[in-house]
Amino acid sequence: MKNHLVRTHRSAEVFPREEHLAWRIAEVATDPVEVAPETEEMIVNRIIDNAAVAAASLVRRPVSNARAQALTHPYQPGATVFGVDGRYSPEWAAFANGVAVRELDFHDTFLAAEYSHPGDNIPSILAVAQHAGRNGRDLIRGLATGYEIQVDLVRAICLHEHKIDHVAHLGPSAAAGIGTLLGLNTETIYQAIGQALHTTTATRQSRKGEISSWKAYAPAFAGKMAVEAVDRAMRGEGAPSPIWEGEDGVIAWLLGGPTAEYSVPLPGPGEPKRGILDTYTKEHSAEYQSQAPIDLAFRLREQIGDLDQIASIVLHTSHHTHYVIGTGSNDPQKFDPKASRETLDHSIMYIFAVALQDGTWHHERSYAPERAQRPDTIELWNKISTAEDPEWTRRYHSTDPNEKAFGARAEVTLKSGEVIVDELAVADAHPLGARPFARDQYIAKFRTLAEGVIEPAEQDRFLEVVQRAGELSAAELSELTFTVSADVLARAPKSPKGLF
């Protein structure tokens, strides 16, 4: 990996295009290096993972509405939409599938200087692959680029510090991945990256306070914007440049300011794209920084015994966890029994209380209104707080994978005065956890979430196809989706009529 210093440049400065971050990313996207077998294997795992969580969310209102929008845009050759037959305009298919993948906050994650869900790259890159008649090998190459660029940007450039939503890294990564998929030249990908970034920078209010369904829509919208950016760039249209480093660019006015510097790592020429191997998926449907605490709660449940004897619980954890999903956020909504699912998903206090009481976690039942409003849950919930611990913050930011951690130390004080202390650094499903996810676990997750949604024969068909994704012909690429019965679709709320 080569580190590239990125800073603001005045318009009067000599700043060759070849030194722009967008150009360097485009060069990575055009590098013909082969995809390593272990990278390809993980890409297949994540396509399975995305389909699993899309199945689980298929009849939820935000997903149903996004699908309804896409279905008003039939197109040939087009791309597929989860759950239904037919082909649709690729940007709308990417959008609908992106919402389905993101709605439950249940797919993969990478945390470093910024947060991210790199699996958000898959819907847009796959939709373009289906529409453009590309084959499975092209798809694998495009996804390897999408993951790599997203991970590299997340390693280096913090967005949330400046209240910019993390999808600002997704627009450029998806555009770069689509560029690799299509075999576009460096100039075209450069312009697409600039356009995608310019159209996908937004504030973090989508993940603050009363969190709405836009949390799921934001990354899907970024993927849609990436598809449209590539289309315009292919037609010869340009982008604001230098988009990151310009005097009135992203760094100067949205991020650290004119004096800020960032060191962005990118693969050198001929270096394999391995970024996906540093990412991890979720066993539990909850914000990633709550994965290890959920597993810790399961363990503590046995140690505590009678939960009524709890006087207080303090979770000592990282800066990110404390301020984003903990009491450091100062969001009263995180203690509101009538809060939205999206808000409860970002309340470690609620999540820890329910995990302690139930000893299990479910993507629907754990967030049900009747579950959140149980008096004993509310009582326990309000006994839980978080505190930033410098050591957990250091480990969160560590570049050593053996040290990097997203967990917490729980101090449980009982009414008797006894204190029970336990900690867990990484989730059980993490690559360094007690039960790391591999192909069998991804398939099991798919089977579990698809039960009652996708017919068993259709599950079998999808799993057979996806496990040979890199060998698929262009004609077979349309099989990387699933359909469900009309009875299943009828469970979804009827989408009110919109403009389309």
- Residue 256 identity: G
SS3 109: strand
From start to end of 318-407, where are the E strands?
Answer: 384-388
Residue 385 structure tokens:
């707080």
pLDDT band at 400 (very low <50, low <70, confident <90, very high): confident
Q: What's residue 102's pLDDT?
A: 95
Q: Please, which pLDDT band fits residue 345 given cuts at 50, 70 and 90?
A: very high
The yes-or-no verdict on residue 208 having pLDDT over 80 is: no
Total H helices, total E strands in the chain: 20, 8
> pLDDT tens digits for 51-108?
999 999 999 999 999 999 999 999 999 999 999 999 999 999 999 999 999 999 899 9
3-state DSSP call for residue 222? helix
Pairing of strands 74-79, 88-88: antiparallel
Q: How confident is the model at residue 313 (pLDDT cuts 50, 70, 90)?
A: very high
Tens of pLDDT, residue by residue over 122-148, are 999 999 999 999 999 999 999 999 999
Strand boundaries in 244-367, DSSP class E: 261-266, 310-317
- pTM value? 0.92
Secondary-structure percent of the chain, ordered helix, strand, coil, rounded to 5 = 55, 10, 35
**What is the pLDDT, as a whole number, of residue 209?**
75
Q: Is the pLDDT of residue 397 over 90?
A: no
Average pLDDT for residues 490-494, to the nearest whole number?
94
Q: Of 461, 449, 369, whose CA–CA distance to 57 is shortest?
A: 449
pLDDT exceeds 90 at position 10: yes
